[in-house]
Amino acid sequence: MPLFEVCIDSLPGARAASSGGAHRIELCAGLVEGGTTPSLGMIRQVIENAPIDCVVLIRPRGGDFLYSGDETAIMEEDILTAKETGVSGIATGVLTAEGMVDEEVMSRLIEAARPMNVTFHRAFDMAREPYEALDVLIRLGVDRVLTSGRERSVMDALDLIGEMVAYTGGELSVMPGGGVREQNIREVLNRTGAREIHFTAFSPEASAMRFRNDRPSMGSDRVPGEYERSGTDVERVQAFIRSAS
């Protein structure tokens, strides 16, 4: 059986992932932007109340993965702060303007993170060339790379992901994520040979608000409304893991 990592954005989500049998969580905020760094309060509450390994996303904003000096300093500070809480690892990624892994900045972030484990997240999917990026990440000593195979869904890139698993030879873990579902997990595992799998298990949750004003919006029209929420569903976590056996 592979190691199952669930992407979550709340303390109830961490509890659901743990109760459902997941081995590890990736704790994020701002998932409508692809994920940003969660608050210190969130990290502490998850560590104190959910008995599961926790990887914290280190991403100061949405958008691309080309960061300024100020943003890099923020990321280093967030890594050191997360380390103090006792999390098991971080997920981060930095590219140059030419689409290469930024070795200099990544070296700084990895140094700040150790001895925690380090995941290079789906910034990998925006890199210019996958094997060149893998060579750099192996040289830097990254523990794993999270990838959809440079496509919207892993299902469109199973051959490439399998080739990357073989290419790395276990020097780092290639972890498929993005479009992995209960219905396709078995095929993903069989065709890629991956040892770790990243997925979400969200289900809609009704807002408890009885009074509602639907006229204004607190965000742009591209994000869910104030009364639309999703939470990690323990039954979906369990169903996902059962489907892999």
pLDDT of the chain, 245 residues: tens digit per residue:
899 999 999 999 999 999 999 999 999 999 988 999 999 999 999 999 999 999 999 999 999 999 999 999 999 999 999 999 999 999 999 999 999 999 999 999 999 999 999 999 999 999 999 999 999 999 999 999 999 999 999 999 999 999 999 999 999 999 999 999 999 999 999 999 999 999 999 998 888 989 988 877 776 666 666 456 678 899 999 998 999 87
Domains of the chain: 3-243 (3.20.20.380)
Q: Which helix (H) or strand (E) holds 94?
A: none
The tokens 């807002």 sit on which residue? Answer: 207
**Which burial class, exposed, middle or buried, applies to 244 when counting CB atoms under 10 A from its CB (0-12, 13-18, 19+)?**
middle
pLDDT score at 230: 76
Per-residue pLDDT, 30: 93
Judge contact between 103 and 94, C-beta under 8 A. no
What does R_g of the chain's alpha carbons equal in angstroms? 18
Please name which of 136, 164, 153, 140 lies closest in space to residue 198, comparing C-alpha atoms.
153
From CA 72, how far away is CA 74, in angstroms rounded? 5
pLDDT at 226: 44
Yes or no: say if 186 and 244 are a contact pair by the CB < 8 Å rule.
yes
Here the tokens at position 180 are 């992995």
- DSSP string spanning 151-215? SSSGGG-HHHHHHHHHHHTTSSEEEEBSS--TTTHHHHHHHH--SEEEE--EEEEE---SS---S
Task: Enter the pTM of the model.
Answer: 0.90
Distance between CA atoms of 234 and 19, rounded to whole angstroms? 7
